[in-house]
Structure 1
Amino acid sequence: MNQNNRIFDGLGRVMNEAAGVADGVRREVETVVKSQAQRIVNDMDLVKREDFDALREMVQVQGEEIDALRKEIAALRGAKVAE
């Protein structure tokens, strides 16, 4: 009976060590994958979302200003034709 307990204790230790090694390997793989993904994203030269949103808002405001100026020019040209 004592022999069986030692075998099971040894087997339990081996399994615990294997689980620890597997967890370490998993963390290492995650780190490598994240690093590679970050490198790929950086190489793609992507724009940040905040920069995109700010630029989109500026373009929208400028578009509205251009429309207003076009209307003003059209009104001034209409006034010249009437004279």
Structure 2
Amino acid sequence: MQTENRLFDDLAKMLNGAAGTIAGMGREAEGSARSRAREWIGGLDFVGRDEFEAVKAMAAAARDEADTLRARLDALEARTATTGTAADAAMGAAA
């Protein structure tokens, strides 16, 4: 046997409405927090992905060029060292 108790019905409706309102407030607060975070991050001086990748590629190319120049310098120094030694020996023999 079910009894009709309007007090419990009204209480259930009120709690249901309050739960919906609280859920809506939570969604609104989350949206507001996301919006403020986007504004804050947008104000900072961050680099975009495209710019980062471009600089990264340029740095790799510069590193490769530096390695090539280092190899050329080492070869020139080695050649100069052997030429200098031969010239020193020739001067020593002439003296």
Normalized against structure 1, the TM-score is what?
A: 0.76
Offset at residue 74 of structure 1 (A): 4.1
User: Runs of 5+ in structure 1 lacking a partner?
Assistant: none
User: Runs of 5+ in structure 2 lacking a partner?
Assistant: 85-95
Structure 2 equivalent of residue 72 of structure 1: 72
Normalized against structure 2, the TM-score is what?
A: 0.68
Offset at residue 57 of structure 1 (A): 3.5
Cα RMSD (Å) of the superposition? 2.3
Q: Give percent identity, aligned residues only.
A: 33
After alignment, is 22-31 or 61-70 more displaced?
Answer: 61-70
Offset at residue 79 of structure 1 (A): 4.2
Instruction: Extract structure 1 runs of 4+ deviating beyond 6 A.
Output: none
Structure 2 equivalent of residue 7 of structure 1: 7
Structure 2 equivalent of residue 33 of structure 1: 33
Q: State the number of aligned residues.
A: 81
Structure 2 equivalent of residue 56 of structure 1: 56
Distance of 1:43 and 1:77 partners within structure 2: 51
Residue identity in the other structure for 1:39: E
